[in-house]
Structure 1
Amino acid sequence: MSAIHFNTSNQTFRQLMGNGLSFRVPRFQRDYSWTQDEWDDLWQDIQGTLQGGEPAHYMGYLVLQTRDNKVFDVIDGQQRMTTLSLMVLAVLRAIQDLVDSNVEADNNRRRIEQLRSSYIGFLDPVTLVPQNKLTLNRNNDGYYKDYLVPLQKLPQRRLRASEHALRKSFEWFYKQVRDTYGKERSGASLAKFIDEVSDRLFFTVITVTDELNAFKVFETLNARGVRLSPTDLLKNYLFSVVHRDSTHTGEIETLERRWEAMVGRLGGESFPDFLRVHWNSRRKFVREADLFKTIRAETPTKARVFELIRDMEEDIDTYVALSNPEDALWSDDQRSYVRELRMFSVRQPWPALIAARRAFDLQGFTAFLKTCSVIAFRYNVIGSLATNEQERVYNSVALRIASKDILSPADAIRSLAPIYVPDQSFRQAFAEKVLPTTSSRNRHVARYILFSLERYLTGQEYDIDSPQYTLEHVLQENPDGNWPEFTDEQALESVYRLGNLTIMEAGQNRDLGNAGFDSKQQAYRQSPLEITKKIALENTEWNVERLAARQRWMANQATSIWKISQLG
C-alpha cells in the first residue's frame, strides 16, 4: 500500500460540507437507489444518537478522488451523501413553511440562507439557479438541481425510477422532520437538529488521486472485510472513454443499455469476478489486483470499449450457467459435470471452460468439461493441492484455445496433463483422506463418493440427495463403550476417514443408534447397497487396520472411476 497515493481522515458531516469544497457523483455512476428501509435505518440511528446521548454515529467509509483538492468525485458513498443532502433540504422545506406562515419570517429566512450555504450551496437570489456543493450523476442531477434544491413543487410524472426515489426520500424525511421537530413551530428547533446532526455524524474519508488508486483502495477495504464494489468505478472509466470519443449520445445510451443488461443477467454473481474470468479466457493471465490497471491500459479508445462489451456479451451466458447446473444451456451429460464442479467449490477451470465452449462443438466441449471435473476431484477434493499452479495451467490452455493454437478438444485435454494427479499419487491420497462431515459441503461430497462407488460396482443409479438414504459412520461420531478396539486418539483420527463412511437406508440408520459393530454387521448384511453389504461380509470386527484396508480398496476403485484415459 505504500505506493498508493491517498489520504485518510475522520471528518464530521459539518467538516465535510462546510469547507468550501464541492463533490461530484461521477457522470456514469449508478443512480440513486435507497428505499425506505435505508432511510428509516439512518433516521433511527440519528435519533438514537441524539436522544441516547451518544457522542457520534459512524457513517462508514467515504472514498473520494481528486486531482486539484477542490472538486472531489464520490467513488463510494454517494447514496449516503445524497440522502443526507435530502434530509437537510427537508429541514429547509420545514423552515420555509414557517416563513410562508409568517412565523419569525426574517429570522427563519436567515436560518435557511445559513444552512443552505453551509450544506447545500449557493442559490442565486434572482435566477434561483444553484451552485451546489453536491452534483449528482447525469440521470439524477437535473431533478435534484432544478426541483429539490430550490424547494420547488416536485413533478411526479414522466420521471425515472431513481428520480421518484429522490422525491420519495425528500418527502419521507420532510414528514419525519416535521413530525419530530416541527411541532413547536420553531425554526430554531429545526436548525438545531441539523446543527447537532452535522457534528455527530462522521465518516472515514479516503482521498485518492486517480482511478487506479481508488481501485486499489477498494481491494484493500474488501480484504479487511469492508464490502465495497469496484463495479461503478470500472463502469465510470469505460463510459468516460466512450463519452470522450463519441460524436452523438446514441452511443452512450447503447452502451448503458448493454451494460445494465449484463449486470441484470449476472443476478447475484459478482461483476468483477465475471470480468476477470472473461478476461482470463481470452488474454494473458491477470490477477484480481491487476485487473483494473490492465483493462484501463488495453481499452484506451471507444472502439476497444465496445469490443470488450461484445466479448463480454458472448461469454456471460456460459459464466452464469457455470453457477447453475440446471441452466437450460447444458445438456444432461454436461449438467452432471457442472453440478460436480459446483459441489467441489472449484472455479479455477472457468476461463478454460468459457474458451472451450466458444471453440468446440457439443461433444468436444462435453469431453473437456468432464476432464475438468475429474481433475477437480483428483487435484482439489482428494489431493487438496495448491491452486496457484492449477489456475496458471487453465489460463494457459484458455489463451491457447482463444488464439487458435489449440484447435481440438483432444489437444486441449492433453494440455491439462500438468494438473492431472497421477494414479499412484491419487490412490495414496485417497487411501489417507479424511473428510470431516460436520459441514454440509463435505457431507454432500461424501455421499457423492459413496454412491459413485456403488454405481461402479453394480451399475445402479441413485439420487445422491434422496432422503431415503443417510450417511453412516461405522464408528460413530461420538462413540461410547461399544468400541473397545479404538483408543480415544484412534477414534478421533478414524471417525471421518472415508473408509469409515457408508450409506444406509434412513430407517435402518436410526434403529442402529449407538450400537456396536456386532449389531451393525447384521444390519449391513441386509443392506441393498453393495458397498455397505461388503463391510459385513468381509469384516468380523472393526478396528484401525480393517478401516484402512477398506479405504485402500475404495482408493483402487476410485482410481478407475475418476480417470481420463488420455492423461494416464
Structure 2
Amino acid sequence: MSAQNFKTENITYRKLISNGLIYRIPRFQRDYSWTEEEWEDLWADIMETIRPGGESAHYMGYLVLQSQDEKSYDVIDGQQRLTTLTLVILAVLKNLHRLIDENDQPECNRQRIDQIRHTYIGYLDPVTLISRTKLTLNRNNDHYFQTYLVPLVHLPQRGFRASEHSLRKAFEWFDRKVGDYVTASGQDKGVVLASLVETMSDRLFFTIISVTDELNAYRVFETLNARGVRLSSTDLLKNYLFSVLHRNSEHPNEMNALEDRWEAMVTRLGNESFPDFLRIHWISRRSFVRQSELFKTIRANVSKREDVFELLREMDEDLDTYLALTAPEASHWPPELKGYAQNLRMFNVRQPFPLIIAAHRRFEDKDFLLILKSSVIISLRYNVIGCQPTHQQEQIYHAAAQKISGGEVATAVGALEELKGIYPNDDVFRGAFAEKIIRTTNSHNLRIVRYILCALEKQISGHDYEFDSDSFNVEHVLPQNPEFGWEIFSDEEADAMIYRLGNMTLLNTGTNKILGNSGFAVKKSAFANSDFELTRKIAEDYFEWTPGRIATRQRWLARLATSVWRISQLS
C-alpha cells in the first residue's frame, strides 16, 4: 500500500465532524445495530470526560474511511459509533427545544441550537425543511434518520424496520439521559447542554485511517484484524459487489435480489465466518489465494454484473456443504457422513474443505463418501499424529479440488492419487504413533484420545463404542498424580510417560473412580474384568508396568492404528 493511498491521524470528534466534510455510510453497509449495552458504555465514557477530575481524553478507537477527493468519505468501519454520537447531539438539541418551549432563555437557546446544528449535524433548508446533513446513513436507515430524527419531529413507531426502531430507541434513550443529567446539574440548563456538547467533542478522539479505494481498505482490515482489532471485511466485500452493480447502471430489482441473497448467506454463516467460507469456496473452484489476497483476487475477477450473480449462485451452491462441515449436527447428511464431518471438526482441520466441497459438487454419493472418509484418515495421520506443516497440505488439497472442478479427475480414486504427497506411509505413521504424547489435561485432547482408543477397541473386539459416552473414561495406567506404588518411575520418567498413548486405555466410569491412583497390582485385577479388550490385554500381557512396558504397548497400538486409519489405494 503506497503512502499516497493511505493516511492515518488522531483527531477529536470536533475536528472530525465540524470540518465541513461529508460522511456517508455506504448504501449496503450493515444496518444500525447498537443496543442499550453499547449506549450505556458510550454514555459512561462521555460522563467520565465531563465530570470534575475525569478523563481529559477518551479514545474511541479506529475509523476506517475511504475517499478519492478528501471532501466526502465513505465510512468503511465506525458507522455505529458515528451514528450514535450524532444521536447524542440530536438529544441535546431536543432538550434545548424544550427549554425554548418552556420560555427558558429562548433567544440564547435558539442561538445555541443553530450553532450546534450547523457545527455537528448540518442544516435544514428553511423552505423545504429537507436536511443537508454531515452524516448519511445506509439505504435502510437514512430515510428514517433524515425524515424524523434530524428534524426532531414526532417519531412514528409502526411500519418500520427493526434497525429503524433501534435508531428511535437510541435517540429516546439518550434524550432521557441528557434530560436527567441537566436536571441533576442544578445550573443554567442551556449552558449545561452546550457545555456537554463542547466538552465531549473536544475529549473524545479517534484514530482515522483514510484510504483511496476498496483494495487499500481491505488491506487495512487485514492488518488490524491480525492485530486483534476485529473489523468486518464481510461488509467491505459486500459493498464492492454492490458497487459493481451500481456502476453498471443500477437495477432496483437486481439490487434487492442481491441484498436478499447476501443477507440470507450472512445470517446462516455469521458475519465473522463469511470471509472464511468465501475463501474456501473460491479455492474449491478457482485459484489458490491467501486470506490477505482474497479481496484483491475477487476484485480482479468480479468486475461485471454477470460476474456478481455468478459468484452468488456458486456460493449458494456450496453453502450447504460448508455448513455441513462446520456444523454437522444441523445438516441433513446421513449419520456416517455427519460422523466424518464431526471428526474433522474435532481434529480442528479445515485444509481438506475445498477438496470435499468440490467432490460434493461433482461426485456420486459413493465417491464422495470415500473422499470424506479419506480426508479424516489423512488428517489423523498427517495433522493429529504427525503434526506436519499445513502449508504444503493446503496447496495439495487445492490442486486436487481444481482437477475435480475442471473435470480432469472424475473419480474418488483419481482424486486420492493427487493426495499422495500428504499421506504419511505406514512406516512413517507407525513410527510417529509409537512416540505420540497427547496431554489430556484439556477437553479437546481428551476427546481425541477417546476417539482413538474407541477406534482401536473396535478393531480388536468388534464392539463399536460411542467415544463421547459417559459410561466410560480414559484410564491413565500410570496415574496423572502418582502416589504410593509407583516408585518404579522416577519423576522424570513419570512426566515423560503419563500422557503417552501406550499408558492410556478405556475403563468403566465407576471402576475408574474406585481405582483412582492405586498401584498397578490393584489396577491389574480390575483390568482383567473390564468390558474392553484393550484393557483386558494389559492384565493378560503385563506382569508389571514400567517405562519399557508403556513403550512396548504403544508400539503394538501403533501397528493396530496403521490398519485402522489406512487408505488402501495409497498404501
Same fold by TM-score greater than 0.5: yes
Match of 1:44 in 2: 44
Aligned-partner SS, 2:132: strand
Distance 1:137 1:330 in 2: 39
Partner of 2:114: 113
SS of 1:566's equivalent? coil
- 3-state SS of the aligned residue for 2:74? strand
Partner of 2:529: 526
2:245 to 242, 245, 260: 242
For 2:345, give the aligned amino acid. Answer: R
Identify the residue that residue 12 of structure 1 maps to in structure 2. Answer: 12
2:68 aligns with 67
Tell whether 2:509 aligns with 1:506.
yes
Which deviates more, 87-96 or 132-141?
Answer: 132-141
Determine the structure 1 residue equivalent to 2:131.
130
Describe how 1:85-104 pairs up with structure 2 within 5 A.
85-104=86-105
d(CA) in 2 for partners of 1:340, 1:66: 47
Which amino acid in the other structure matches residue 43 of structure 1? W
Structure 1 distance, partners of 2:122, 2:4, is: 32
CA distance in 1, matches of 2:402, 2:137: 41
Q: Deviations over 1:83-120 (max 9, x none)?
A: 00011001001001111222111100110111111111
Find the partner of 2:352 among 349, 354, 371. 349
Would the aligned equivalents of 1:344 and 1:376 in 2 still touch at CA under 8 Å?
yes
Question: Does 1:494 pair with 2:497?
Answer: yes
Matching residue's letter, 1:331? P
CA contact (8 A) 1:94 1:182 kept: no
1:517 matches 2:520: yes
1:32-431 aligned at under 5 Å gives the runs 32-51=32-51, 53-182=54-183, 184=186, 186-267=189-270, 270-431=273-434
Q: Contact conserved, 1:502 with 1:532, CA < 8 A, in 2?
A: yes
Closer, same or farther: CA 509–392 of 1 in aligned 2, 3 Å: same
Q: Deviations over 1:50-88 (max 9, x none)?
A: 336122222111111111111111000001100000110
CA distance in 2 between counterparts of 1:243 and 1:169 reads 31
| TM-score, with structure 1 as normaliser | 0.97
Which range moves more in the overlay, 194-203 or 556-565? 194-203
Cα deviation for residue 247 of structure 1 reads 4.9
SS in 2 for 1:427: helix
Task: Check the 8 A contact 1:454/1:460 in 2, yes or no.
Answer: yes
The answer to whether 1:566 aligns with 2:564 is: no
Residue identity opposite 1:117 in structure 2:
H
1:351–1:86 distance in 2 versus 1, CA, 3 Å: same
Q: Which residue of the partner structure matches residue 484 of structure 1?
A: 487
Deviations, residues 187-227 of structure 1 (Å, cap 9, x unaligned): 11111111111122111211111111111111111111111
Rounded Cα–Cα distance in structure 2 between residues aligned with 1:4 and 1:441: 48
Letter of the structure 2 residue corresponding to residue 68 of structure 1: D
- Cα-Cα RMSD: 1.5
* Distance (whole Å) between structure 2 residues aligned to residue 328 and residue 430 of structure 1: 33
Q: CA deviation at 1:329?
A: 2.7
3-state SS of paired residue (1:554): helix
Q: What is the percentage of aligned positions where both structures have the same residue?
A: 56
Match of 1:463 among 466, 474, 480: 466
Task: Provide the secondary structure at the position in 2 that maps to 1:281.
Answer: helix
The one-letter code of the counterpart of 1:140 is N
Contact kept, 8 Å, 1:246 with 1:302, in 2: the verdict is no
Q: Which residue of 1 aligns with 2:31?
A: 31
AA partner of residue 99 (structure 2)? L
Task: Report the secondary structure of 1:62's partner residue.
Answer: strand
Post-superposition, which runs of at least 4 consecutive aligned residues in structure 1 deviate over 6 A?
Answer: 1-4
CA displacement at 1:481 relative to structure 2 = 4.1
Instruction: Give distance in 2, aligned partners of 1:160 and 1:336.
Output: 41
Corresponding letter in the other structure for 1:406: V
* Equivalent position SS for 2:511: helix
Amino acid in structure 2 at the alignment position of 1:553: W
Counterpart secondary structure, 2:328: coil
Shift of 1:267: 3.8
Aligned residue for 1:64, secondary structure, equals strand
C-alpha distance in 2 between matches for 1:269 and 1:478: 41
Look up the SS of the partner of 2:397 in the other structure: helix
Comparing 458-467 with 245-254, greater Cα deviation is found at 245-254
Q: Is the 8 A contact 2:25 2:136 kept in 1?
A: yes
**Within 2, Cα distance between the matches of 1:275 and 1:328?**
19
SS of the counterpart of 1:8?
strand
CA–CA separation in structure 1 for the residues paired with 2:221 and 2:519? 56
Is the CA contact 1:182–1:190 (under 8 Å) kept in the aligned structure 2?
no
Seen in structure 2, the aligned counterparts of structure 1 residues 217 and 17 have a Cα distance that, compared at 3 Å, is: same
Structure 2: stretches of 5+ with no match in the other structure: none
**Comparing 557-566 with 461-470, which one deviates more in the overlay?**
461-470
Question: 1:128: Cα distance to partner?
Answer: 2.4
How many equivalent pairs are there?
568
Q: Separation in 2 of the partners of 1:524 and 1:138?
A: 69
Query: Does the aligned pair in 2 maintain the 1:527–1:533 contact within 8 Å?
Result: yes
**One-letter amino acid matched to 1:30:** R
Structure 2: how far apart are the matches of 1:537 and 1:502?
14
8 A Cα contact 2:87 2:170, kept in partner? yes
**What is the Cα deviation at residue 28 of structure 1?**
1.2
Counterpart AA for 2:413: A
